[in-house]
Structure 1
């Protein structure tokens, strides 16, 4: 995958973020998209060998659309400034997300504002054994890689059915349970980028497995 070319395409697209420019350069876009899918397929195969519960996700299934959803976000530009994809993407589970873009390059995973049923299940798991999740978050290598839970909207008070003085109230108030590892453009362009992804994936895996178990109970 030629990430130099991908960044160049995204830079020109953002300077000409309209359908006319995209139509004139669709061959370039399709070539990059196909290369990205092949790259994702190779990464998917590599990661599928890391643990038995991995959910194979072909690149075509994992890749996100480059078009913004203007129906719900009419003020956004027509096209995104990144290529994104989710792997290890079992239904109703915390996937592993890859984003290569102009403003952000990142590896992320977990649940972004899950539906009420899933959120309730995660909170019930925390109520039962939240110390396990906290231990994962407090692990030095985890903190070094991810910092902590992604900062998103939180409840002001305890969720319904939970006490304000719950020992894990700081976790229960979260609406999003996800972590992010920011990447630099330089890291993306290095020859060992795939090894970097695999290392971050492995470091995130216990966190995602805790959430997946919670979501399916």
Structure 2
């Protein structure tokens, strides 16, 4: 489970997002991060049974993302994120592509997966796979358990116009216009701090896994 103290640290950090406060509370950060790393280790053990391509030697410390923000090109100059992010690439994918993603944040924790905002070459390849094999994707995203957890997959951000490679009358245009291919499910503070939190997250990942398989096969 994620300890309430870890959420309390993140809440206080959001209210005091500056270097002086962070250094004064560095010990709290270290304890909270260790908690997240331990949670990630437990989650990886379960995910390896869901996604066989996740290496048993995966270091949970390397799956927890840095809390330091890259402010070079951002108008927001606060130096720290107000959440812990855990990125677990699926089926040997590179980080930032097809993955499971866990965000831990007071009032805004969630588990997600798929591929968020693919770069142009990968987006083109995924669209080609959808054009050839949309039935398989629809079977995944229209599954009752998938919809129950992640809602309507097609209601993600879409292009305002039709992709130039396809016609407006394409029967799969609702999927071809998508900019991202992800499912995400919100987790309450009570759930993430509960004794069943790791299993809850793993169960959601098991429903995301077929989507990750479809996307990874498209990019193979």
Scaled by the length of structure 1, the TM-score of the pair is 0.92
- Judged with a 3 Å threshold, the aligned counterparts in structure 2 of structure 1 residues 202 and 41 are, in CA distance, closer, same or farther, namely same
- Judged with a 3 Å threshold, the aligned counterparts in structure 2 of structure 1 residues 152 and 144 are, in CA distance, closer, same or farther, namely closer
Higher relative contact order (CA 8 A, sep 6+): 2
Number of positions where the alignment pairs a residue of Structure 1 with one of Structure 2 = 216
Q: Is the 8 A contact 1:44 1:58 kept in 2?
A: no
CA RMSD of aligned residues (A): 1.7
Distance in 2 (alpha carbons) for counterparts of 1:150 and 1:157: 15
Residue in structure 1 matching 2:187, options 175, 180, 183:
183
Q: Is the 8 A contact 1:99 1:105 kept in 2?
A: yes
- Judged with a 3 Å threshold, the aligned counterparts in structure 2 of structure 1 residues 142 and 171 are, in CA distance, closer, same or farther, namely same
Distance in 2 (alpha carbons) for counterparts of 1:35 and 1:196: 17
Deviation, 1:195, is 1.2
1:98 aligns with 2:73: no
SS of corresponding position for 1:141: helix
User: What do residues 40-75 of structure 1 show as CA deviations (whole Å, max 9, x unaligned)?
Assistant: 122112211234233454212211111222112132
Deviates more, 1:62-71 or 1:124-133: 62-71
Scaled by the length of structure 2, the TM-score of the pair is 0.91
Q: Which runs of 4+ in 1 moved over 6 A?
A: none
Deviates more, 1:157-166 or 1:108-117: 157-166
1:174 aligns with 2:175: no
Deviation, 1:31, is 2.2
User: What do residues 132-163 of structure 1 show as CA deviations (whole Å, max 9, x unaligned)?
Assistant: 11121111111001102275432122212111
1:123 aligns with 2:103: no
Distance in 2 (alpha carbons) for counterparts of 1:158 and 1:23: 50
Distance in 2 (alpha carbons) for counterparts of 1:103 and 1:74: 24
Deviation, 1:21, is 0.4
